[in-house]
Amino acid sequence: MMPPTSSWVRMLPVVVLLAGAGLFLHSHSQAERLPPHDALASFPSRVGDWLGRDMALSPNVRQVLGEGDFLVRIYGRRPDEPYIDLFLAYFPSQRSGNTIHSPQNCLPGAGWLPVESARMQLSRPDGRAITVNRYVIAKGLERRLVLYWYQAHGRVVASEYWAKFYLVADAIRMNRSDGALVRIITAVDRNEDVEHAQQRAVEFAQVILPSLDSCIPE
């Protein structure tokens, strides 16, 4: 069955945007100039009460991601509490096919299936609120709570489509196509509910927000 005309009208700007994004980013060849920023390797290994240790990306995953700066770090707070899995991906340029991969595509490929999906707000230290994606995923009896968002040029967005829109708009306005993905995962222990795992992930996210600003340039 064909979708109603109104659905096509709503989807048309998205289709045009994504097609235009590819054409523009491939054709616009002027060198990009990025503000100074720290490498992700310098991201604090101790944040709040959490202490982190680095994990290596497999060669296959590294090849899929393409050229960029990546960090995978496991943060623990207490021995009896599930850890936090932090993944940061920063792409200095997205003009040559190196683009941000949505966790919605990557996690199912690893066998995790979405159980719940929503959006929620996090509070920054300055009082501003940002909107992020919240997912509960499952594989067998295991469950994970996932928070993720897209961040670039001082802007945080949850929507992949809006991230693409701003990618094109900023490439035209600022001659910059850099951007980042921030993903936080924590296990939902069998002795806790999802809300408790969410509280842990949110507490961690709010602690790291100020540190992200030095690695993801405005």
**Cβ contact 153:174 at 8 Å:** yes
User: For the stretch 135-156, what's the b/e string if a residue is b when 16 or more beta carbons lie within 10 angstroms of its beta carbon?
Assistant: bbbeeeeebbbbbbbbbbbeeb
pLDDT bucket at 152, cuts 50 / 70 / 90:
very high
Backbone phi and psi for residue 191, each to the nearest 5 degrees, phi listed first:
-100, 10
Contact 86, 75 (CB under 8 A): yes
Q: Report how far residue 112's alpha carbon sits from residue 147's, in angstroms, rounded to the nearest whole number.
A: 15
Query: Higher confidence at residue 6 or residue 193?
Result: 193
In order of 2, 16, 69, 158, the CA distances from 180 in angstroms are 36, 23, 9, 12
Higher pLDDT, 159 or 8: 159
Burial letters 179-200, b for 16+ CB under 10 A, else e: bbbbbbbbbbeeeeeeeebbeb
Question: Average pLDDT for residues 194-211, to the nearest whole number?
Answer: 96
Task: Output the pLDDT for position 1.
Answer: 41
Closest CA to 202 of 133, 117, 114: 133
Going by C-alpha positions, the residue among 178, 181, 180 that lies closest to residue 94 is: 178
Task: Please state the pTM of the whole predicted model.
Answer: 0.84
Task: Check residue 19 and give its pLDDT.
Answer: 55
What is the rounded average pLDDT of the residues 33-53? Answer: 93
Look up residue 134 and give its amino acid.
Answer: R
Mean pLDDT of 117-123: 94
